[in-house]
Amino acid sequence: MEIVLKTEKIRKNCKKMKKERGLKRIYRYLGIGFSNILYKISKKINPNVITLCGFFVFSLAWLQYLGIYLFGEVNLINKILLIVGFNIALIIDYLDGEYARKTNKCSKIGHHLDGILDYIKISTTYLLLYLTTNEHFGKLLIFVSSVIFTIFMWSKFTSYREKLMSKAPKEGKFLSLSLLFSFSIAHQYLYFSIYLLFGLWQILVLQIALGSVFTFKNFVKLFKMAKIIDRSE
């Protein structure tokens, strides 16, 4: 029975990987690779401890980013350390889930902890970008994007709380799609403003920190999904 459950989890994980693109797919592959190594070393580690370690590394990287902005110590070593820090944090973000599935230690606490820390990471990203952006136009775009993200997350939270995630009405699904569509649009403008206001290394840091890049494919997929839901009503 245990083997069947593990096989089912691996199958679902493979399907998830096929849907992912760009940075997310790369980091998932890295997470799987390092989880295999960790699994061979020890099978007794609590996945929640790994999650907290990833959040700690992410926090250190952001403190370094803030320090660079405040004190202006921008040199090659700082840039490399910053990018490496975010890379490690993101690899750990995928590693903990893979390790939990391998050791059959998945738990509701771990699932909720991972979601809460991800929300804190993205919220912190918005806040620090807002504080370190000097142009009013850039601040406005970041603010709008963060507001849309907050609305979207609140919608997901209320749906989950009322246990409507799997039985959501068509109107609720369409609302979620609309919010996600707006979220993607806001990010497109956000990235465009970042390219104008920041240097190349800062753009790289941003992409790594957020862990994904919203491309034109997102618009096409969301538009098709919205049309399907609209026709079925």
Enumerate domains of the chain plus CATH numbers: 2-232 (1.20.120.1760)
pLDDT for res 9: 54
Q: Number of helices (H) and strands (E), helices first, in the chain? A: 9, 0
Chain mean position to CA 154: 16
The answer to whether 152 and 172 have CB atoms below 8 angstroms apart is no
**Residue 123 corresponds to which amino acid?**
S
* Element housing 179 (H / E): helix 170-197
Token pair, residue 219, equals 């618009």
- Per DSSP, the three-state class of 72 is coil
φ, ψ of residue 213 to 5 degrees: the values are: -120, 125
Its sign, for the CA torsion 43, 48, 180, 162, is: positive
Its sign, for the CA torsion 187, 190, 196, 198, is: negative
Task: Write the CA distances from 62 to 35, 139, 159, 218, integer angstroms.
Answer: 25, 19, 31, 28
Token pair, residue 94, equals 């995928």
What is the block-wise mean pLDDT of the chain (233 residues), using blocks of 10 residues?
50 55 70 87 88 87 76 67 76 86 84 78 73 69 68 64 48 47 49 48 54 47 51 48
